[in-house]
């Protein structure tokens, strides 16, 4: 007959301890029985913490945590209301901040277009916040008149032509004005908006720049400064600049017959007014024949 499970566990325990038959078992458990009540009375820690301190072996079963008290929703709301959010996070829940104008001089006018009101409002708010952080006085976004487009097309052809269908497209717009802004700052603002442009949103900007009365002198000084910085590389811009100093040579090259023939002046409907019979169909002359004719005219 097989022994029960609890009996088998005791027998295996006895085999592991290698107890001799003459040694009483009670004497071995007596110190444990005498110490256990003493530890119980001396311990003043909670049950879960005491179990954790007594048994630190890896994989040991831990006592279940004590049951938590029910949470009151009103207490949670009070605790959340007491938490102070950062200023940057608080600003997202408020209207965009604005700077006051000083001279009230308009430097940029931005028009935002979209077919979706949601995308339009989101990007307009983003543009206003970007203008504030760049210290640009901005006004807006103000709603602009809608652009409504309609099309009427037949549903089918032939006998079904009288059955037609209407299509409509409404473009929503918002306007933002920038005042007293430096041209470089406005360019940085527009470039940032172009880089972070929201999907389904288009932009159109009009920029004004103001200067002094000595505009010509400023442009000449700027050209000299650029020439000094570029140096020899400036000669590579627009071809050979050495030819531009010799006006007579350049004029002779442009008005010469080989040049006109190369660029189609002798072709049908050439359009060159200085060439006789340019608007009529004439025989195309080769470069050699043109040279001979010019030489004959010079000799005459």
pLDDT one-digit tens code per residue, 252-294? 777 777 777 766 666 665 555 555 554 454 455 555 544 444 4
Say whether pLDDT at 187 is over 60: yes
Mean pLDDT rounded to a whole number for the chain: 74
pLDDT one-digit tens code per residue, 193-243? 999 999 999 999 999 988 778 888 888 998 888 888 877 666 666 555 555
DSSP per-residue codes, 228-243? HHHGGGGGGTTS-GGG
Beta-bridge partner residues of 174: 112, 143
As assigned by CATH, the class of the 85-210 domain is alpha beta
Residue intervals in the chain for CATH 3.30.70.600: 85-210
From CA 280, how far away is CA 133, in angstroms rounded? 65
Q: What pLDDT is recorded for position 121?
A: 95
From CA 50, how far away is CA 45, in angstroms rounded? 6
From CA 98, how far away is CA 130, in angstroms rounded? 10
Say whether pLDDT at 180 is over 90: yes
Q: Are strands 164-179 and 138-154 parallel, antiparallel or unpaired?
A: antiparallel
pLDDT one-digit tens code per residue, 160-174? 888 899 999 999 999
Smallest CA-to-CA distance from 207 within 110, 279, 76 is with 110
pLDDT one-digit tens code per residue, 124-138? 999 999 999 999 999
Q: How far is residue 151 from each of residues 17, 84, 154, 169, measured CA to CA in Å?
A: 97, 54, 10, 9
Say whether pLDDT at 295 is over 60: no
Query: In which residue are the tokens 């006004």 written?
Result: 139
Say whether pLDDT at 56 is over 70: no
DSSP 171: E
From CA 139, how far away is CA 178, in angstroms rounded? 7
């Amino acid at each position: 007959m097989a022994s029960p499970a609890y009996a088998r566990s005791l027998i295996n325990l006895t085999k592991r301890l290698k107890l001799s038959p003459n040694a009483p078992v009670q004497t071995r458990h007596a110190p444990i029985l005498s110490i256990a009540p003493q530890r119980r009375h001396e311990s003043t820690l909670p049950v879960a913490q005491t179990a954790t301190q007594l048994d630190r072996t890896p994989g040991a079963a831990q006592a279940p945590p004590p049951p938590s008290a029910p949470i009151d929703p009103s207490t949670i709301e009070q605790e959340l209301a007491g938490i102070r959010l950062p200023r940057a996070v608080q600003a997202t829940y408020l209207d965009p901040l604005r700077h006051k104008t000083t001279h009230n001089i308009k430097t940029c006018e931005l028009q935002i277009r979209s077919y979706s009101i949601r995308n339009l409002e989101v990007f307009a708010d983003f543009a206003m916040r970007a203008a504030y952080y760049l210290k640009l006085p901005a006004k807006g976004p103000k709603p602009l008149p809608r652009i409504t487009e309609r099309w009427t097309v037949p549903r089918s052809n032939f006998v079904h032509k009288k059955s037609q269908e209407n299509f409509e497209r409404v473009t929503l717009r918002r306007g933002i004005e920038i005042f007293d802004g430096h041209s470089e700052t406005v360019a940085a603002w527009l470039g940032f908006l172009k880089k972070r442009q929201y999907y389904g949103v288009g932009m159109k900007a009009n920029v004004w720049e103001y200067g002094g009365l000595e505009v010509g002198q400023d442009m000449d000084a700027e050209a000299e400064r650029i020439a000094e910085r570029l140096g020899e590389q400036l000669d590579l811009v627009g071809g050979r600049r050495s030819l531009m100093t010799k006006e007579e040579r350049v004029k002779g090259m442009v008005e010469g017959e080989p040049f006109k023939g190369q660029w189609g002046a002798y072709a049908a409907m050439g359009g060159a007014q200085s060439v006789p019979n340019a608007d009529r169909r004439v025989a195309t002359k080769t470069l050699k024949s043109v040279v001979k004719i010019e030489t004959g005219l010079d000799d005459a």
